[in-house]
Amino acid sequence: MPDTRHRNIVILTGAGISAESGIATFRDKDGIWSKYDLEEVATPEGFYRNPDFVHEFHNGLRESLQTVEPNPAHRALARLEAEHAGEVLVVTQNVDDLHERAGSRNLVHMHGELYKARCDRCMHVAEWRTALTRAVPCPACEASAAMRPHVVWFGEMPMEMDRIYAALAACDLFLSIGTSGNVYPAAGFVEEVRRAGQAHTVELNLEPSEGVSLFAETIHGPASTVVPAYVDSLVGA
């Protein structure tokens, strides 16, 4: 019988949900941060020091999105949103578009999106699916060398935080999927939910995360296996 006790579900996802689609995670063995110094490619200081290198890093990630597909975990979350009677909000740390392509609509990209670029001068945000370089003028204000990836780097403020905290305070089920619990504020969301005191909290991850002890329930295994099974338990197989 489906577990229909919960009305408002908030789901935090991290790189682990996209791992089986072929997108590298950050902190696993052979992860992105074992190949690149995050200070050089994922901070504003690194960008202003060497914009061409940072553009090249993000262009490589953006290009890799052309060859990957959503996996059963992304599709299960889209099914949950479509079939669950209450609210389902996915808050992703990922900058890929796999949740959208799987069908999720109620979605926040708190770390931005690879398929968007932003003008440092006028803040215009444009859809961007090709390589980005300093030579590209802003499509809105025509400023030169002002476009940057619309992604959140270390030391910058994640996006839509007010909306996220309001959803965390109102939810009665919080799922954390495929994240190591290393990076705040996302790593602190489970504590926000516990402070509100009304939600069941579940970690679904390949292995115990840094914050595993904060969750009432933990389910360890590959996302493309454990997430569809968990969604089945909520809305029926």
Query: Does residue 142 touch ligand APR according to CB under 6 A?
Result: no
Please report where in the chains the tokens 């329930």 appear, as a residue. 217
111 is catalytic: yes
Q: Is 209 in the site for ligand APR (CB under 6 A)?
A: yes
Given 6, 84, 99, 111, which residue is catalytic? 111
Tell me if 187 sits within 8 A of 210, measured CB to CB.
yes
Q: How far is the CB of 211 from ligand APR (least distance, A)?
A: 10
Quote the least distance from Cβ 82 to ligand APR, whole Å: 22
* One of 207, 213, 217, 233 touching ligand APR (CB under 6 A): 207
Structure tokens at 208: 């115990």
Residue 29 one-letter amino acid: K
**Residue burial 15-50, b: 16+ Cβ < 10 Å; e: rest:** bbbbbbbebbbbbbeeebeeebeeeebbbeebbeee
Return the number of the residue (128 or 153) whose C-beta is nearest ligand APR.
153
The whole-angstrom separation of Cα 210 and Cα 188 is 11
Q: Is 223 in the site for ligand APR (CB under 6 A)?
A: yes
Q: Which of residues 5-44 bind ligand APR (CB under 6 A)?
A: 14-16, 19-20, 25-28, 31
Closest to ligand APR by CB, 186 vs 234, is: 186
Q: What backbone phi and psi angles, to 5 degrees, belong to 117?
A: -130, 155
Q: Which of residues 59-118 bind ligand APR (CB under 6 A)?
A: 93, 111
Could you write out the three-class secondary structure of 68-95? CCCCHHHHHHHHHHHHCCCCEEEEECCC
Query: Backbone phi, then psi, for 114, in 5-degree steps?
Result: -65, -30
Tell the smallest beta-carbon distance from residue 84 to ligand APR (Å).
Answer: 21
Tell me how many residues contact ligand APR (CB under 6 A): 23
Active site residues: 111
Which residues form the interface with ligand APR (CB under 6 A)?
14-16, 19-20, 25-28, 31, 93, 111, 178-180, 182-183, 205-207, 209, 222-223
